[in-house]
Structure 1
């Protein structure tokens, strides 16, 4: 059941709603979509600002600001994007992009402030995402984000398996419905069922759907890793890396598998490959994991550098951050 989501789900919520969907067909405007697909988030924000300077109710420009603010992980940008999205909802209430922008960036900002903040804003997030779906039922990114919300949110915050299933069944195409059903299964800890659905679902040429398919397969792989099933996770990440060689996630996951098996030289190659790939900015843990394997190989200076980058990033917290600092102290390096 989804009434009390796992820590894993809460930690993934921001990423799933907002981060790193670098190939999804999010924008109707080709120029904005090209910047988004190329991970040129600063340029995307600049383009959005320039367009809003001449037309305050430009929904595509508001979406650009929101998307860039989330990708750049900048709290001030997110606050500004929320204000723009709120104004957009008032000025262009029939524009699905305005509601989608508000729901996703508000969820991201609230989650960055903790579960209490998410609890305060969950109702607005839910309303914004469901309104985006109502206004443009065929726009897959909005439906996908709404399903994510209902899967990940606790029941007291509006989460609902039933509502997620309704949204999935009402998708514009059968393959979209199957992918969303797989996401629901993954949220309900039915990992094998989710993988079977995801790996058997064609994208039908839809880049947004294709991105969800490989992203959710990778998520299933991380669930397997966290439950001690690294060998079972290996073919999942191999497939993701084979199908998306330019994306960081497959190399990161496969590197984790190698690390769990004590294959540190292979893990280092994979983590370094991940750091060179698109979307690496969303995974500061790559530096931490690289540091662990370098240390295991006796490469102290390189390990220090990787762990220092992880600590300096500023997004790390919890056990990984504590461990990184302890390792840096052992290596005789400042923890930052």
Structure 2
């Protein structure tokens, strides 16, 4: 078990290093340096070559790409993502509050989506081929098929215009207290949950059907256990193992920022910051958000792998 843990940590570090390298290459080493990308054609035309060279020196862009990558990665490990090209504001000061807001949205959404997926998956598996299974599976697939911008606007139309109980747009600032953000985030959470749990529901349904048909569950049934106890204690733990990695990727996607949903509702999270940075061509912010998203994906996958190893004796033996 300990050696497995060390191997997973090593793979985690290697994956994160490769992800950071890819982020840097995609934003820094492609044709046209970050300064040229960040400035408009009119701004470049107004600056003489000496001004551009001085600005590149100030931003460290006159150094070779490998040197810049090592410096950027070393700073990122310390939590220093550099400064914005326009304005010179520390990137960490810009993303600090949006990171907290995205963590809050991810936590609340996961607390709603994962139990909902479990419940729908259990219902669909237990009443397989009957009306509850059909309704649960159909509802999950419909939610997955509708784009989030469409379902979000539909919820706004119903619950903000026709039945005005929730705000259509979040007007809170990025540094608003969590209670203020939660009070106005019902529709964003509902949009994410409605559009993203179909895959988890199907995985849990399939795993639970296989577990209920297994020999060890049949033996437990012969002991006289109730169906509820049989499902919760014997079948469900085995059936959720295949869904752990998908659940991890789901939560990681939430941590990385739900760009469409945040744009529709104006939620002050990482998704909105990323869109604004792309619009303003602020490469350091794009790098920071991309690296944090990669960190979330790799970390959640590591936790899911370790959970599988802990729950499944077959994985430990392999």
TM-score, with length taken from structure 1: 0.26
Which of these two proteins has the greater Rg computed from alpha carbons? Answer: 2
**Structure showing greater relative contact order (alpha-carbon pairs closer than 8 Å, 6 or more residues apart):** 2
TM-score, with length taken from structure 2: 0.27
